[in-house]
Structure 1
Amino acid sequence: MTGLRIIFMGTPEFACPTLRTLIERGENVVAVVTQPDRPKGRGQQTLPPPVKVLAEQHGITVLQPVKVRLPESIEQIRALEPDLIVVVAFGQILPKALLDIPKHGCINVHASLLPRYRGAAPLNWCIINGETETGVTTMMMDVGLDTGDMLLKSATPIDPDEDTQSLHDRMSQLGAELLAQTLDRLVAGELTPEKQDDALTCYAPMMKKEDGLIDWTRSAQDINNQVRGMTPWPGAFSFLDDKLLKVYKVQTASGAGNPGEVVAAGRDGIEVACGEGSLLIRELQLEGKKRMSAGDFLAGYKVPAGALLGKKDGAVGA
C-alpha cells in the first residue's frame, strides 16, 4: 500500500486485473473513471463496462463522462485531489489539463514493449505481424499517443498457436503485476523515466471488420497470423458459395493449388491453397450455421476439392 490518493481510469476487461490489484493492495482508490454504458451484442442491450462492474462491487465511486476533456469533467476529477492517476485501456485521449492534475502524474499500462506498437490494438497487430515476443510497459503519460517516458517493462513470448484472446488474458495479468512494481518503486523514489526512441516505433491502429478479409494470394503463414490476430474480434473471414465463412482456427500445411482453392476436405479440416503453401481450416462458422469443427461441418455440408474460397465476386484477394 502506497497511501496515495489514486484515480483509476479504464474500461474493458483488460483493465480489471490492474484495478483488482490496486484494491487487493489496499490502495486508496478514490474514484474510477470509465466509459459510459453502451449497447452491446445482437440484442443491443445497454451494459456497463467491466471496470464499472468491478468498482461498484467494491463500493468505489464511478464517473462516466461522455468526454473526459470537457471542462466540467476535468474539474470533477480535480476536486478529488488525486496524487496519481492510473490509466489502463481507458479509450479516450487525456488532455494536458487533466494530465497536470496529480502531483505524481498519470501512469499508463500499455500492452506492448514500447516504443513498438503504439496505438489502440497492440495485441492484435503483434500477432498479425508475426512477432514472437511482446510485453507490457508502464509509462508516464504526455499529450502524445503512447509517447510518454517509459518506466518499467515486462516481456513475454508469443506462442505459435496463441490468438489475441489468450494473449489478452496473459497480458492483462502481466500488466497488473508490472503496475504494482511501478507503484512500489515510485514511492521508494527508484523510478528512472526513459525517453522513447521514435525511430523504433510502429503504429497499431484500431481494428476494423474489413481487416479480417482473407487474401488467399498471401502465404499460409501470413494468413495463419491474421486469423490468430483477428480472434476473437473482429474475426477472419472468407466466402464459400457466396456465403460468409468465419475462420477461427487454422494450421499451416504444404499443399499446392491456385490461391483460395480447396485442396482436400476431411475430418482433419478443409485444406485451402495459398500464395505459398496451404492452410488447414480446423474451426469455422458458415453464415446461418453455428461455430463448429471443420469435421462436424463437413458431415452436413459438402465441400469438394476444387471449390473456391474468396470474395463474393469470386476473387481471392482482399
Structure 2
Amino acid sequence: MRLVFAGTPEVALPSLRALLASDRHEVVAVVTRPDAPAGRGRHLVRSPVGALADEHGVEVLTPVKASDPAFLDRLRELEPDACPVVAYGALLRQAALDIPPQGWINLHFSILPAWRGAAPVQAAIRHGDEITGASTFRIVRELDAGPVFGVLTEPIRADDTAGTLLDRLAEAGAGLLVSTLDGIEDGTLRAVEQPGDGTSYASKISTEDARLDFTAPAIAVDRLARAVTPDPGAWAEFRGERIKLGPVKRVVADALPPGELRVERKRVLVGTATDPVALGEVQAPGKKRMAATDWARGARVEPGERLK
C-alpha cells in the first residue's frame, strides 16, 4: 500500500523504520510537527521522524495544523491508501481522516479501551497495572475510541520507568503496526469495536504532577517517580529549591516522618506514610545528576531536614 506516515518523537522511529524496510508497503511521505527551537542557541531542529525521513529521501510535510488547506491538498495528491500514526501529537480533523480509503491507523500504547489519551504508559505504571500493551485502531473523531485491529501485551516490571517500558512497546508495536497494515491490504483483518466498559483516560502529565508527595505511602511514591521518568522527571523541594529526583527504591527500615531525610553510609532514606524509600539519583539546581549519597555529602544534609 501507499502510506503517509504521521509521527513526531523518537518513540515513533521503530515503526517508521519497519515500514521503510517493508517490501509490501511504500512510504511516500511523512507528516510530523513543525521544526522546533532546541538547545542553548534555540536553533530550529527537525523532529526525530522528520530527520529519519530526510535520511531516506522521503518527503516531509510539517503543517502547523492538520486542517491546513495546503496540507490537505498535498495529501490528496499523494493518494495514500492508509496513513499509519505513532505519536503524531496533533489533532486530526475529519477532512484529513476522510482522505485515505483505509483510514488513519494508530498505534497506541495501551490495551484499549484502557488508558486512552496522551500518557497511557505513565498512567499504567502510576496506577500499579501489572500488564499493559499496545493496540492498533482506526482513528475516529472521538479520542482513541476507534475500532481495534490488533493488540499485544507486555508485563510491567517492578523497576520499569515510563522510558524503559515505552522503549519495549515501541519496538514490539512496530511489528504489530506492520502486520496490521499487511492484514488490511490482504483483506484478512477486520477492526472490532471497543467494548463499552473498562474505559479509562490518561491525560498529559505536567511538571506539577511530577512532584513527589512523601505524605503518600511508599508504593505510591515509587510508582509516581517511575511513571514520570524520564519526562517530565520527578522532583521535590529542599531548602526552598527544586531538586530533580530519579526513581526511588522501596526499603524496609525504621520509620521516618514523611519527607524527613536520613543519610546513611551507602544510602539516603526519605520518610513516607509507610516505609521509607531510598533515593536514587539527585540533581540539584545548576549541578549534574549524581548518586544520592554524593548529593547528601555535598549539601551537608542535617538531621531532621526534609524534602517537601
Same fold flag (TM > 0.5)? yes
Identify the residue that residue 9 of structure 2 maps to in structure 1. 12
Identify the residue that residue 142 of structure 1 maps to in structure 2. 140
- Superposed CA deviations along residues 177-201 of structure 1, whole A, max 9, x for unmatched, are 1011112222222212111124211
Shift of residue 24, structure 1, vs aligned partner: 0.8
Find 2:201's aligned residue among 177, 197, 203.
203
Taking the aligned partners of 2:259 and 2:274, their CA distance within structure 1 comes to 11
Distance 1:280 1:171, change over 3 A: same
5 Å matches for 1:58-137?
A: 58-137=56-135
AA paired with 1:150? V
* 2:279 equivalent to 1:303: no
Distance 1:11 1:208, change over 3 A: same
- Where in structure 1 are there 5+ consecutive unaligned residues? 311-318
Shift of residue 267, structure 1, vs aligned partner: 3.8
AA paired with 2:21? E
Contact 2:184 2:190 in 1 (8 A): no
Q: Which moved more, 1:235-244 or 1:266-275?
A: 266-275
What is the TM-score of this pair, normalised by structure 2? 0.96
SS of the residue 1:152 aligns to: strand
SS of the residue 1:200 aligns to: coil
Taking the aligned partners of 1:212 and 1:267, their CA distance within structure 2 comes to 28
AA paired with 1:199? D
AA paired with 1:14? V
5 Å matches for 1:101-250?
A: 101-250=99-248
Taking the aligned partners of 2:263 and 2:224, their CA distance within structure 1 comes to 22
Identify the residue that residue 55 of structure 2 maps to in structure 1. 57
Taking the aligned partners of 2:280 and 2:71, their CA distance within structure 1 comes to 49
Taking the aligned partners of 1:52 and 1:198, their CA distance within structure 2 comes to 37
AA paired with 1:35? R
Shift of residue 98, structure 1, vs aligned partner: 1.2
Shift of residue 64, structure 1, vs aligned partner: 0.4
Identify the residue that residue 316 of structure 1 maps to in structure 2. none
Shift of residue 43, structure 1, vs aligned partner: 4.1
Contact 1:256 1:273 in 2 (8 A): yes
- Where in structure 2 are there 5+ consecutive unaligned residues? none
Find 1:37's aligned residue among 30, 35, 38.
35
What is the TM-score of this pair, normalised by structure 1? 0.93
Distance 1:260 1:299, change over 3 A: closer
SS of the residue 2:110 aligns to: coil
AA paired with 1:25? S
Identify the residue that residue 313 of structure 1 maps to in structure 2. none
Taking the aligned partners of 2:51 and 2:265, their CA distance within structure 1 comes to 43
SS of the residue 1:284 aligns to: strand
- Superposed CA deviations along residues 129-165 of structure 1, whole A, max 9, x for unmatched, are 1111111100011111100001100100011111111
Taking the aligned partners of 1:75 and 1:29, their CA distance within structure 2 comes to 18
Distance 1:202 1:43, change over 3 A: farther
Shift of residue 42, structure 1, vs aligned partner: 4.5
AA paired with 1:84? A
Taking the aligned partners of 2:60 and 2:257, their CA distance within structure 1 comes to 56
Taking the aligned partners of 1:111 and 1:153, their CA distance within structure 2 comes to 10
RMSD: 1.3
Taking the aligned partners of 1:179 and 1:276, their CA distance within structure 2 comes to 43
Identify the residue that residue 19 of structure 2 maps to in structure 1. 22
AA paired with 2:3? I
% identity of equivalent residues: 40
Q: Which moved more, 1:296-305 or 1:170-179?
A: 296-305
Taking the aligned partners of 2:40 and 2:306, their CA distance within structure 1 comes to 30
